[in-house]
Amino acid sequence: MQRALPACAPELRFLGRGWGEGVCHHAPARMTVCAVPLYRGRFAPSPTGPLHLGSLVAALASYLDAKSQQGLWLLRIEDSDPPREVPEASNWILQALDKLGLHWDETVLRQSTRQEAYLAALHDLAQQGLIYACRCSRLALADHSIYPGTCRDLQLPWQEGAALRCRVTAQCWRFQDRLQGEQAQNLARDCGDFVVRRKDGPFSYQLAVVVDDAHQGITDIVRGIDLLDSTPRQLYLQHCLRLPPPRYAHVPVLMDTTSGQKLSKQNLATPLDLARPAATLWHALWLLRQEPPPSLREDSVAQVLAWAVNNWRPAQLRGLTQLALAAPPL
């Protein structure tokens, strides 16, 4: 009788990009080389409200980019900022993705379970002399778009009510964005020492995202262009923490052309029409300039996604920073 091979993917140690090598703990010693997927992408929503068309556009772009390269698509719930969260929102998001056929690989990672990992990263940075406490009030910083370094050399105690900042240098951080081209930022000049732990407790997005992307072995980040500006801070933290930098592709954000605002939970974007998931996916594909055939709208979710994976053309978004929200053509 032929025995099925045990599923070994979760046992593989991620060793970087490419169909690389990994250690398979199920296999005999001389069979230790297995293939691991070269592409590990992710979608990382914050549970601050239901999924809306703007977040679907970003989710779909990252899903299609991963699946068109035979990659895995992971899901992370960025629930490390309780005051901003809406109870039930993470369930709404998971249910909406499921209904839209955007099934994720592996288990969902929740940032609320990752405090120890963030703390370890913080201690690592602190041992390198990169962290200091800052007691500046919001008012004191109101006139500064870049932190002026007030507390940099004061050696204030790390205690309640103090934020923790990471020192930056005048080094220029460059990266090649797959859609937006060459990017460069001098952190000292353009950003300043930035907060890694807020005075009210939560770790900053910058620290958490870098630690979690490395933990999940993410090779490719496809996300909204509103996060382009924070990428050099993440590259800097990856460098300081000796973590591999992923590739980046920043997709244009959906704009409400009547208000001139980015479509977000804050400006109460209309929730998705989940009663007609295939048509909703079609609309998102059309907004992403993938030119889906009109007949596809009447097909199943699986058929729409199969077409979209086979026909994914990220180059349609190259150099674009905004997509105009418009109703789908009749």
For the segment 118-157, give every residue that binds Zn ion (CB under 5 A): 134, 136, 150-151
User: Binding-site residue total for Zn ion (CB under 5 A)?
Assistant: 4
> Hey, which bits of the chain come out as E strands?
40-43, 72-77, 109-110, 131-134, 163-166, 172-177, 181-186, 194-197, 220-224, 247-251, 253-256, 261-262, 322-324
Give the nearest distance from C-beta 166 to Zn ion in angstroms: 13
Distances in Å between the Cα of 44 and the Cα atoms of 17, 36, 61, 110, 311 are 21, 22, 13, 9, 24
Q: Which is nearer to Zn ion, 97 or 134 (CB)?
A: 134
Length of the chain: 330
Q: Taking CB under 5 A as the rule, which mask of x and - marks residues 201-240 in contact with Zn ion?
A: ----------------------------------------
The least distance separating Zn ion from the CB of residue 167, rounded to whole angstroms, comes to 12
Q: At what angle do helices 115-127 and 231-240 cross, to 10 degrees?
A: 70
Strand partners, 194: 166
Please, which residue, 164 or 272, has the CB nearer to Zn ion? 164
> Looking at the DSSP assignment, which residues form a beta bridge with residue 109?
76
Query: How many CA atoms within 13 Å lie on the side-chain side of 26?
Result: 10
Taking the least distance from each CB to Zn ion, the nearer of 151 and 281 is: 151
State the nearest-atom distance from the C-beta of 207 to Zn ion, in Å.
18
Which string of x and - marks every residue 150-189 that binds Zn ion (by CB under 5 A)?
xx--------------------------------------
Q: Least distance to Zn ion from the beta carbon of 150, Å?
A: 4
Where on the chain is the footprint of Zn ion (CB under 5 A)?
Answer: 134, 136, 150-151
